[in-house]
Chains A and B, each alone.
Chain A
Amino acid sequence: MTSKSLKVWSAVHTWTSLISMVFMLMLCVTGLPLIFHHELNHVLGYESEPADVPAGTPFVSLDKIVEAGKAQRPQDVVQLVFFDRDEPNVAFVWMNTAIDAPGENGKAVAVDRRTAQVLKEPKLTEGPVAFLLKLHTDMFLGLGGKLFLGLMAVVFLVAMISGVVLYAPFMRKLEFGTVRRNRSRRLFWLDIHNLGGVVTFVWLTVVGATGMINTWADLMLKLWQFGQLAEMTAPYRDKPPLTAIGSLQKAVDVALAAAPEMKPISIAFPGTIFTSKSHFGVFLIGSTPISSRVLQPALVDAETAELTPMRPMPWYVQTLFLSQPLHFGDYGGLPLKIVWAVLDVAAILVLGSGLYLWIARRRKGATRLAEAEGEPSAARMLGAAGE
């Protein structure tokens, strides 16, 4: 690498890192406990425990579940019924002030699927974990915050790529993983930065890129809503609003008859953003790790229980679905979550050491420092480039 291109890459690495640094540190720090959000909410008592009934007790009709929700919050309407991947015996009835009210203002009523008994109120949008999640996804700034963090992810991806480009000139005279402990503090942290950066590179690229895709979720939903969903429900566009809604259980049965190997994960009520004004949107998942992430919508007429021929979601929504487990690290049990946490801590170390190196270089004349320490030539050139 010529000294000129080295200087350019160095400047790219310095500035993209500095711009994204604060946000990436925030994301890595808040992301650490979020890896274990399920376990934490369980321990903190924010989740609803199912009723104590004999194993194998059959599920009651979903209509009874909806009734139980309505009885609990008679002033509200039902927007969704959804299930927990990890706790199949509990159903959540998502209630809101109006059918088209913003989803985040709603409240969940947890109902046991075998007894239709209302369980302890789940706090899905309260508590420390929900606070961290909100900070992590949009910094309490809504869609704008989300898209901003997506942009920071792009900047960070450039920082990582430029970091890898710079790795080679720094390592030319060093064995892999050399950590010079007996020289200066700066050299020690430079070695830790290079080692941590190169070891976590692929993982951090995947988590960063999938995080970026996740920030576009709201936009993808809109695209699907105005594209495929609008096409599928076109014959219903001019129909008057429903006066009475038919059986939810029947709608789910109709959907499952067309896809017997699947199971429902959530059902949107007519008039919500996930379906039309006339259909239940029954969202089905399969049983393998991949098919359990890719939701298959089934639109069922809420009056006649007629199923609109099913279509798979468009490719961009499927990309979003598949990027979610790769970002969350929740698809390989507790061992994978622990590895995710270790790599996250390593990423924090890479970010922190990078920031330290920048400060140290500004504080002391880098050229003098490099010469005094007898650093490899690349590092010396870089030191000069930073001034």
Chain B
Amino acid sequence: MKPQTNHIWRIPIVLGVITAVCLVVALVDDGYWDLIASLGLGAVAVFGCYKGYVEKG
């Protein structure tokens, strides 16, 4: 990967990994695991909404 493309993929990869981990974590067990997964996945969604609607570009 060229150095200039690093900045393009850094955040999307972090968001993708959080999403994938959370989707699996909720399958592992109920209770706290569900909560952690919902918070993590919720954070990804909220971050996207914040970028799209709140932050001035």
Contacts and interface: CB of A to CB of B under 8 A. Distances in A.
Contacts of A332: 26, 34, 37-38
B15 A199 contact: yes
B41 A203 contact: yes
A251 B8 CA distance: 60
Interface residues of B, number: 35
Counting contact residues on chain A (CB < 8 A from B), the size range is: 35 or more
A14 interface: no
Contact of B38 (A179, A196, A288, A333): A333
A195 B29 contact: no
A9 interface: no
Query: How would you classify the secondary structure of chain A's contact residues: helix, strand, loop or mixed?
Result: helix
Query: How would you classify the secondary structure of chain B's contact residues: helix, strand, loop or mixed?
Result: helix
A255 B4 CA distance: 61
A145 interface: no
A343 interface: yes
A289 B23 contact: no
Contacts of B39: 335
Interface string A322-336: 100110000111011
A179 B23 contact: no
Interface in B2-57: 4-5, 7-12, 15-16, 19-20, 23, 26-30, 34-35, 37-39, 41-42, 44-45, 47-49, 51-52, 55-57
A179 B37 contact: no
Contacts of A178: 57
Contacts of A83: none
Nearest to A206: B23
Contacts of A202: 15-16, 19-20, 23
B29 A179 contact: no
B8 A325 contact: no
Contacts of B55: 177, 179
B18 to A, nearest CB: 9
Nearest to B11: A176
Contacts of B30: 289, 333
A172 interface: yes
Given A177-B52, A206-B23, A335-B38, A201 B11 contact: no
Q: Which 4 A-B pairs have the closest CB atoms?
A: A177-B51, A199-B48, A335-B38, A332-B26
Interface of B: 4-5, 7-12, 15-16, 19-20, 23, 26-30, 34-35, 37-39, 41-42, 44-45, 47-49, 51-52, 55-57
20 contacts: A168-B5, A176-B8, A176-B10, A177-B11, A179-B51, A179-B52, A179-B57, A181-B57, A195-B48, A195-B51, A202-B23, A289-B28, A322-B27, A326-B27, A331-B26, A335-B35, A336-B26, A336-B34, A339-B41, A339-B42
